[in-house]
Each structure stands twice: as C-alpha cells, then as structure tokens.
Amino acid sequence: MNKPNDGCIYTRKWIVDFMLDICGYTSDRDICAWKVIEPSCGTGSFMLRIIPRLLAAAKKRHLAWDCLENSLRGYDTDAAALHVAREATRKLLRASGVDGDMAKRLVDTWYVQRDFVETNISDADLVIGNPPYIRATDIAMENRNRYMESLETFTRGTDIYIAFFEKGLKSLDTGGKLCFICSDRWRRNQFGARLRDFIKRHHFGVHINCQMHNVDAFESQVTAYPSVTLIDRSGDRAVEAECNEHFDATAAHALLKDLGVVDGAIRDAYTVAPFARGNPYEEYPLITEAGVHIGIGIATGRDKVFVTTDKDAVEPERMVPLAYARDINNHQFPRHAKHWLVNPWQNGRLVDLSDYPRLERYFLANEESLKKRHVAQKKPADWYRTIDKLKPGLCESKKLLIRDMSDKTEPIYDDGKLYPHHNLYWMTSDTWDLKVLGGILISDTVYDMMLQNSVDMRGGVIRNQAQYLRKLRVPCYESIAESDREALRVSFEKNDREMASRICERLYA
C-alpha cells in the first residue's frame, strides 16, 4: 500500500464532501437508485464519505440494506489498501445499525480488487475519485501496452490518469457525471489533446472546474497542481473557479452557494467566472505561420562532461559559447560567455577524435561516464556524442531565448554569439525584427495567451515549452505600423511591459 510510484495520494475529507455536493450526491435525494463508481478507492477516502450519505438516504426511504448492493463499487488493485478500506467500512456499517452478516455482504460486494481501466461498466450515474498520478515513464510496460490497445486517448507519453478519464467517461449512463480531483495538465498539455477530442466527440463538456493549485487538498504534499473537474452532457453553463491558498472547508461551502448547489453566495477564498468560449485571438496567425521558427537548446546527456566553464578545455574550434539560463542577469546574458560546450559535431557528423588530440584526451578521460548513457549504449561507436546534434548556423543567428519556467514570458535577445543550452527555447526568423517580436512577447496579451495554453505551476510560474509557444498568435509583421514597431523595440530593450502591453492592446483590438 502506498508503494513508490503507485500513484496513491489521499484526498482530505472536506474536499471529498465538496465533490459529492457539486455532483448532487446528497442524502435528501434518491441516491440509493444511483450507481456510483470509485475507480481507485485505495484505503477508502471517498468510499467512507459516500457510504454515510447512502445509508442516510436509505433510512429516510425505509429501504432494506440489501437494496444497496448495486449502489456502489470501489475498484483497486492494491490488496493491502482494500483490506484497510473493507475493515473501516465494516465498522462504519456496524455502527450504523447494519447487522454483521449484511455488513460483510455489502463490503464483499462494494469492494472489487481489479484494474478499473480493464473493467467493463456501462451504466454508472457517477464516477468520482482521485485517479492515480503516475507519469508515463513510471508506468509498467505491460500495463502501458494494454492501455494503448484498448483506449483511444492513451499513448506512450501519457500519464496514467488519462486512462481513468476515458474509462470513467465510457462507464457513464447517458445522464451520468464524472468528477475527479486530478492534475489539470491534460487541459493544456499536448498529451491531453486526444482526451480533449474524445470529450468533444462524445458530446461531453466540462461543467465545473475548480482550480486548486495552492489548496491543501491532500493528506500529503504533492506537486500535481490539481483541479476538481466535473464533466457531463448537461450542456449547462460551464463555470471556472480559481481557489487560492485560503480555500478550506468553510470556503468550499461558500463556493457551493456560488455555484448554485445551495442557496446564497460568498466569495473570499476564490473567484468564479464563466468559461471562456473560443479563442479571442483566433483571427491572428499562429506564431510559426507568421514566420517564426521555434526550438529547444542542446541536450547533452552528461552536462558535467560536455558543459564547462573552462573555455580552453580542448581545441578552440571544438568549443562553443553557451547561452546558459543561470547566467542570465538583469534580462541579459553576460558580454562574454561563462559556460562552454565541448562540441563533438561538425556539419551534422561526429568528428574523428584522432583529428583533435586534446578533444580525444578529454573524452577518453570521461569515457566510462559517457558510455553509461542510454544514447551511447544504443550506438556504442558514437559513445562521445551529445543527445542532440548542433543545429548548423543557430549559434551565429540572431535569436530570442526563453527560459523553460518563469513568472512571465521573458525573451532575451542574442545577436548571434551563443548556442542555447537545453533549458532554453529559441526563436529565429527571416521575417521579423526579433526585438519587435520581443516587445510583443513581454506584453500582458501574450502572458494571457500563455496562461490559456501552458501549465501554470505553484507561485504563478508558467511553462514556456515549445509546444505552448507554438500556440501563440501574433499579427503579421508587415501589418504592424513602423511607429508601433519602433515602440515595441524600445519597450523590449527597456523591458517595459506596461508600454508593450498598451501597444499590443491596440494591435490585438
């Protein structure tokens, strides 16, 4: 139970209650007729909050306990966790007046040791829970291959919770609901594209989304940046709530009022707004369509060997000055490079080490470390290669360089002196004056687009990865008046975001 990489993160009780409430699973309703599925029940975080509501509803309607056998199913593959959940449920049932034999019967029926993703269910009224969070690289190969064969949305690069979303939605009856607390990366990330398409094609929609990136929602500390997401086919107005670090059980009840689940409205630990429909910038071309090329800097597979601060480590022609994120100071790189790449490439091919005696001695001194790398084991003869090849001409090209993570989009200009390291993304163009483009990129307009496209981390940090940067939309360069171009250049050079934002407000009007 709760083994490394098992994805078990347990949800706080008040969060579970909040989720049940927004789904309408309350004892004053006829929930005994519902079929509820908990797809990854673990030790019972959800089941032990669901069952008291179910029992209370049955008592109000004077139903026999055996009428509840088909009202609930909790699935998990972890026998130890299920044992804990079953014992806790048996005690709860006995304390509620259910006799021993019936308690055992219900427990044995309600809990199922089976992989939910590989279970056939088709008539659920509610699928609710906290699906396991296991990154693609940590999923067992045999499980990943089976999921890829049986699911539309699952790929080699997909985190496991995507499988639970698809299977959960497929398990619903026509009027059913799915409510998960889970990482919300699928809503913006590339690996969630198939799931987003699946939701649209099957006429589902996100009804409520409560972003809880800074909320203390779990029993242990996590970095999954979760949201509570309710998906159904109701067609009702979609609502987004952004909950801050003050969001707690009291605020959750207030939010229920604001969402119309109960009467009244209070807003002090969250904001509520309708979902934006469509993209307000859609009339503008994607940045790549507007003549901007985007890529990522070089990955070496062993920075301790390939990246050095000694510019004389080997022959001068084998040393490449690096744009290194840690060297950025006051929105610029130093005049003289502080980090250098020991470069084994020439015109897209590995050099012959015998042509460069100092380079050969350098690599041979690090041979054991370099040969341990996966990239070297795939091609033993190329043991001294970097993971990526150097892109010819990139070092000498004028470019904008952007850090992977930042609290704003922060492009930094290089006039053709540095080659970007792996944690920097680059932009080049034959069309644009890159300082004009830089002015657009520091604007609030672009920051707004990045918030829509990107994954935002704790503390307001966003990911500036190429997949998100390519979704940016910009005016065509030729459509920008020369006066605005000059103003954007100046705003970029001065890092004047307010000035850039005013200009872009007009350009994107």
Tens of pLDDT along 378-416?
A: 999 999 999 999 999 999 999 999 998 887 889 999 999
Question: Whose CA is closest to 240, among 202, 203, 200, 213?
Answer: 213
> Directed axis angle between helix 249-258 and helix 13-22, to 10°?
10
pLDDT, averaged across the chain: 89
The pLDDT-based confidence of 212 (bands split at 50, 70, 90) is: confident
Question: 263 pLDDT exceeds 90?
Answer: no
Distance between CA atoms of 226 and 247, rounded to whole angstroms? Answer: 13
Let me know: does 16 contact 45? Beta carbons within 8 Å: yes
Confidence at residue 266, expressed as pLDDT on a 0 to 100 scale: 41
Confidence at residue 338, expressed as pLDDT on a 0 to 100 scale: 96
| pLDDT tens, residue by residue, 42-94 | 999 999 999 999 999 999 999 999 999 999 999 999 999 999 999 999 999 99
Q: Is 64 exposed, middle or buried (0-12, 13-18, 19+ CB in 10 A)?
A: exposed
Distance between CA atoms of 97 and 56, rounded to whole angstroms? Answer: 11
Question: Whose CA is closest to 18, among 105, 120, 130, 121?
Answer: 130
**CA neighbours closer than 13 Å in the CB half-sphere of residue 232:** 24
State the pTM of this model.
0.58
| pLDDT tens, residue by residue, 326-361 | 999 988 999 999 999 999 999 999 999 999 999 999
Q: SS in 3 state form for 321-380?
A: EEECHHHCECCECCCCCCEEEECCEECCEECCHHHCHHHHHHHHHCHHHHHCCHHHHHCH
Q: What are phi and psi of 480, to 5 degrees?
A: -90, 125
DSSP string, 226-286: EEEEEEES--PPPEEEEE-TT--HHHHHHHHHHTTSSS----SSEEEEEPPPS-TTTTSPB
Let me know: does 355 contact 349? Beta carbons within 8 Å: no
Let me know: does 394 contact 424? Beta carbons within 8 Å: no
**Which residues are CB-contacts of 310 (< 8 A; sequence separation ≥ 6)?**
340
Place of tokens 């009804």: 207
The pLDDT-based confidence of 265 (bands split at 50, 70, 90) is: very low
Distance between CA atoms of 366 and 380, rounded to whole angstroms? Answer: 15
What are the DSSP E strand ranges found in 337-492? 339-342, 345-346, 349-350, 399-403, 405-406, 412-414, 419-420, 424-429, 462-463
Please state which of the ranges 9-13, 100-104, 162-166, 236-240 shows the lowest mean pLDDT: 236-240
Distance between CA atoms of 26 and 193, rounded to whole angstroms? Answer: 34
**Which residues are CB-contacts of 77 (< 8 A; sequence separation ≥ 6)?**
113, 114, 115
Let me know: does 114 contact 74? Beta carbons within 8 Å: no
Confidence at residue 250, expressed as pLDDT on a 0 to 100 scale: 87
**Pairing, β 124-129 against β 172-183:** parallel
Let me know: does 290 contact 477? Beta carbons within 8 Å: yes
3-state secondary structure of 177: strand
Q: Is 361 exposed, middle or buried (0-12, 13-18, 19+ CB in 10 A)?
A: exposed
The pLDDT-based confidence of 264 (bands split at 50, 70, 90) is: very low
Let me know: does 283 contact 289? Beta carbons within 8 Å: no
**Which residues are CB-contacts of 112 (< 8 A; sequence separation ≥ 6)?**
73, 74, 75, 76, 119
Place of tokens 């909790």: 74
Distance between CA atoms of 353 and 363, rounded to whole angstroms? Answer: 9
Question: Whose CA is closest to 320, among 417, 422, 423?
Answer: 417
| pLDDT tens, residue by residue, 285-325 | 999 999 999 999 999 999 999 999 999 999 999 999 999 99
| pLDDT tens, residue by residue, 426-437 | 999 999 999 999
Place of tokens 């994107």: 508
**CA-based R_g, the chain, Å:** 28
Tokens of 156: 């080699």
3-state secondary structure of 414: strand
Tokens of 10: 């347990």
